[in-house]
Amino acid sequence: MSSSAFGGDTWDEASFPVSPSMEGVLPIRGVDGKEDLQKLREAYRISAEIELMLPEPNERACFSRRGCTALHLNAFVSGMRLPLHPLFRRILRAYGLALTQVAPNGWSQMVGGMYLWFWHSFDLEMPLYVFQTIYQPRKLLKKKGRDEEAGWYYFCSWGSYRPLVTGCSSSIKQWKESWFWVSGNWQRVVDDPEPDLDVPSIYGIANALPRYELSRDVVDVVRSGRAWFDGL
């Protein structure tokens, strides 16, 4: 892995996750038992180093269990994989968002943006400053209860920039109800450049991040990636 003129890193094929299907189908309809977690593990090749656990009836995804973090089932359909890619860790950490605070179409923007940038920038990883200039987090719903200021978020385009990925579903029903706990080595891929950058596990209000003036080279990558996607 090495730095680039865009401010990102180059990744070899072994360290980059397998390209997801943007219209994937879950192997299970919900997380109701250990057999469902096993099917999920097999379908998405989740390492044995990552433990998958069912929540107790009185537990909620917005409050962390010690040593664990919550994860929605539909994030996998949107292309998220475990261990978590470093770019997603940087995005979530920068905005102060937990995994389950991001709606499925928000994951589609993160995953789709990452791959379109990778394919059209000569195998480079998208820098965080590019993502936060193109996108801004928008609150989807407020949580009910004592933490009503925290809630769920998606990513929408910011200013004159269009989103890299279009046509993401905004009507996935009951996606918040299907979730489970993960623990172990779920945050770090091979050659992770930021091993100590932990993703929040408790819900919070999204941080406001600055925008940057993108160089012509960066804008060209963004435009070529979007044009390719629009032509599918």
Domain assignment present for 20: no
pLDDT tens-place values along the chain, 232 residues long:
444 444 454 444 434 444 344 445 566 778 889 999 999 999 999 999 999 999 999 999 988 899 999 999 989 988 899 999 989 999 999 999 999 999 998 999 999 888 888 888 867 888 999 999 999 999 986 555 545 567 899 998 887 777 777 666 666 667 888 999 999 999 887 777 777 778 999 999 999 999 999 889 888 888 887 776 665 5
Domain assignment present for 3: no
Count up the domains in the chain and report the number.
1
**How far is it, in rounded angstroms, from Cα 56 to Cα 38?**
18
Domain assignment present for 5: no
Domain assignment present for 4: no
Q: What pLDDT, on a 0 to 100 scale, did the predictor assign at position 5?
A: 44
Domain assignment present for 16: no
Domain assignment present for 18: no
Q: What pLDDT, on a 0 to 100 scale, did the predictor assign at position 93?
A: 95
**How far is it, in rounded angstroms, from Cα 192 to Cα 15?**
9
Q: Which helix (H) or strand (E) holds 43?
A: helix 34-43
- Label residues 114-153 b or e (16+ Cβ within 10 Å = b): bbbbbebbeebbbbbbbbbbbbbbeebeebeeebeebbbb
Q: What pLDDT, on a 0 to 100 scale, did the predictor assign at position 158?
A: 81
Q: Which helix (H) or strand (E) holds 155?
A: strand 151-157
For residue 35, what are the contacts with CB-CB under 8 A and spacing of at least 6?
none
Domain assignment present for 1: no
Closest CA to 165 of 206, 110, 216: 110
Q: What pLDDT, on a 0 to 100 scale, did the predictor assign at position 26?
A: 63
Domain assignment present for 107: yes
Torsion of CA 181, 56, 107, 211, to 10 degrees: -90
What tens digit of pLDDT does each residue of 11-62 get? Answer: 444 344 443 444 455 667 788 899 999 999 999 999 999 999 999 999 999 8
Do 201 and 64 touch, CB atoms closer than 8 A? yes
And the tokens for 34?
A: 């250990």
- Domain encompassing residue 180: 27-230
CA angle 202, 207, 213 (to 5 degrees): 145
